[in-house]
Chain A
Amino acid sequence: MSARENILNAIAMNQPELAELPVIDLASTIHYEDSFIQFKTVLESIGGKVELISHITVLKDKLATDKTTGNFIVNTIEALGDVDKYVALLPVFDLEKVEKAYVKGTLGVAENGAVWIYESQMINRLIPFICQHLILVMEKKNIVSNLHQAYQKIDVEKEGFGAFVAGPSKTADIEQSLVIGAHGARSVVVFVIE
């Protein structure tokens, strides 16, 4: 018999009588009166930054300014101008030099400051992780109170990859001292469009 059959047989033999799944009652989970404020407070407590903007054009100017610095800036958001589609196939050696990336997020979660990003929004799976600084953009109406609501809105099967990103990369592996910028982005700013 193969390992697969051995394992599955042993499990089938040893697993207990069927236990029911619980009913997850969303009404009994936390809801915030002002999800944006909660989102901002939590994200800023874990090293991120949140800025409320009235219109996406504000960012257009910002991106344009960034591009004049000579740094490697990547834009993946159509509303901001030309999308740098070529990064999809860029070797990691080059991606490693990305200074700043502008990425659209699908939704934000008030209870934990996380932003969901689909692979299609990243263009290249590495972008939100390998860039030195990450700019996330999303709409205020897409902030939900908690993760239960978030999973109702996203579809994890829709694309090959997706991630919740909550603030900058961090570690406390040396004496529990918090250091921002372990392997991933050193900073995360979330622009929330009203």
Chain B
Amino acid sequence: MKVALFIPCYIDQFYPKVGIATLQLLEKLGCDVSFPLEQTCCGQPMANSGFAALSKGCDINFIKNFSGFDYIVAPSGSCVLHVKEHLSNEEDGIEASQIRNSIYELTEFLTDILKVKSIPASFPHKVGLHNSCHGQRGLNLSSMTERMLPEFSKPEQLLKLVAGIELKKAKRNDECCGFGGTFCVFEEAVSVKMGKDRVKEHEDNEVDYITGGDTSCLMHLEGILKRQGSKIKTIHIAEILNRVL
């Protein structure tokens, strides 16, 4: 299966290990992965700040890099949601719409397209899953406590395949962590308070790691954990799924 890998800018720059784990995992599962070399950013930071008009250059570059693939996969629910909802190109409407329909967040790609039933991974630790809002409510990666519909969780379904892992559910399982893009600096006080409250619930569960499908949420939580001198570490779900003892 031919897959194009989209590594969002902040993962490329600050968390290359998440990109590496994603690539290795997809290869391990039999995908023929290519990484278009001129990719940068999906444009979400501008668009969510009200500057969607300034994300046109990103759109053009994104389309240039990712046209013609059957599947595009990225280890970030948030960036995938942005592409799905807002990628556009006035000149080449068809290419943009084709991309919007073929881009997948990593975990949904594994459960829905590859239909993964087993993963050769082992992670003997207590882990709390942080559901990112864009992944959960935006991409419908798991059921939501607000809605009265049957329960499911694509990331949990995958984590349960990992040997030795002990999953701990936070009390408010789908509360936002407060990252929110530029919200995290323009609303610093609320953002940090939200993050601290998420961290507290995972601490109460005595987890070793907080994982999730969105590095942006994890970066925010990691910043708080480190400042507090906590022993809890953050780790992207791709790193767990790619981990062998």
Direct contact of A and B (CB under 8 A): no
